Amino acid sequence: MSTDKVTDKIRASRQLQPNLVLTAKREARGWTSRRRAARELHRIWKDNLPGCPDLESLEKSLYRHETGRVQVRDDTYRKLYCLAYEATPQELFGWIGADPAAEQRLVVRSHKFIPVFIGVESAERLRDDPRAVANDKHWLDCRVMPVDVINGECDLHVWPFGIAIFHLVEDLALPNIASLSVWRVQSYKDNMGWATGKIRELAERNDIEAAYVLSAYWIEEAPWSGETLDAALQILAVPKVLLERDIDPVNALGHAELVERTLLVEGFEHAGIVPFGIKGISIAYASWSGVVYFPVAYQRSLAEEDLVHCELAVQSLWAYSDHLNRLVERGSDPVVPAEYGWRFLRGARSRIANARPQENEQHRSMRNAILATCDLESHLAQSIEALRDSAGGEI
């Protein structure tokens, strides 16, 4: 072989793009050799597809497809691999001769909850606003008013014990989880600044500010299936896992996409994630970072508002107890109106933690998962103790 031909062969090999997903899927099935895989694929082809090739040809094609010497353009092979590995074409082959934006979409309704402690007097003034209306679906007494926002839709929820929460809803269509993860980090900073400015304007006070942002993602479309879908939703429950600790989010997308692809192939588990989906009906996860819900059987799953009202109730009490506990940490005795003292918190804890007679198993699982991951019950216990110790914590 001439030097030029050798050079050309080396250059060509360097340009190969092995399909690591196909290889990983095969090995996950326990088909450690391509010969074994070819036999299984041959059987699946004969049972489901026309024109089955001989075993040797199938093994050669598998080798070429996995090593990247040939892209999987043949529609029958694409169907074969999808059948064998219980996966979508997007998972196995990416984008071949197509516009990715037209085929792969992660469609999400993002719910952001941004609490602010405004105090009982400011809460009373906002609740008296003609735009503020009661909603009997709230778990705790609450009034709601619309708020103008540039992107999405927003309501301000106000509880009489001094907590206000902006509920910001944004519809997203993204190519991958990495894009959501980067967007999330960038948007949180903007959301906090906007919420602080808006609540100061509405309450006519300059000494209050937004406390934090918590997200819940309602998944409307997902480009994965099987175990990959499950791993993807768990990643969505803790999307910051895709980002390096000290990297600038503006320049983080490329690295996040690489981490995402790796985790989707290898699988993903996180000790802090609690599942609360029902097989065949929904796939759902809660974590300290937020909640993800994918309604598989839409008519039998939880309604979107079920998730929203649960989080609103939980975050209102979390923000209130966090405010009280911070006062204790600074060496102060928390003092509150009698109607919102330790007895109120004890009753609210019961309302949040205990099932209602009309609830079904899905509601119970949702509430338990969210409570298990947000540490609210511990916060409430500390607040109740602090209020009892400070002469009842009442004025």
pTM of the model: 0.73
Mean pLDDT of 345-372: 90
| DSSP structure string for 152-189 | SEEEEEEETTTEEEEEEEEEEEESSHHHHHHHHHHHHH
Return the domain boundaries, the chain: 3-89, 106-128+143-299, 308-393
Encode 298-308: b = buried (16+ Cβ within 10 Å), e = exposed: eeebbebebbb
pLDDT tens digits for 135-145? Answer: 888 999 999 99
Q: How far is CA 326 from CA 115, 331, 332, 333, 383, in A?
A: 15, 9, 9, 10, 10
pLDDT in the model for residue 244: 83
Q: Is the pLDDT of residue 170 over 90?
A: yes
pLDDT in the model for residue 246: 72
pLDDT in the model for residue 269: 87
Q: Is the pLDDT of residue 294 over 50?
A: yes
Please choose, from the candidates 159, 88, 162, 68, the residue with its C-alpha nearest in 3D space to the C-alpha of residue 120. 162
Interstrand relation of 290-295 and 214-221 (parallel, antiparallel or unpaired): parallel
Mean pLDDT of 173-200: 92
Tokens 């479309």, residue located: 221
pLDDT category of residue 210 using cuts at 50, 70 and 90 = very high
Mean pLDDT of 70-99: 76
The Cα–Cα gap between 328 and 313 comes to 23
The Cα–Cα gap between 341 and 254 comes to 50
| DSSP structure string for 315-372 | HHHHHHHHHHHHHHHTT----B-GGGSHHHHHHHHHHHHSPPTT--HHHHHHHHHHHH
pLDDT tens digits for 6-39? Answer: 334 434 433 456 777 888 888 888 998 899 999 9
Q: Is the pLDDT of residue 97 over 80?
A: no
**Cβ-based neighbours of 31, under 8 Å, separated by 6 or more:** 37, 40
The Cα–Cα gap between 295 and 303 comes to 9
pLDDT tens digits for 240-275? Answer: 999 987 766 556 788 888 899 999 988 898 999 999
- Computed from CA positions of residues 219, 223, 227, 231, in that sequence, does the dihedral angle turn out positive or negative? negative
Mean pLDDT, the chain, integer:
87
Q: What percent of the chain has pLDDT over 70?
A: 90
The Cα–Cα gap between 347 and 317 comes to 11
Residues β-bridged to residue 117: 163
The Cα–Cα gap between 87 and 81 comes to 8
pLDDT tens digits for 371-380? Answer: 999 999 999 9
Mean pLDDT of 207-231: 94
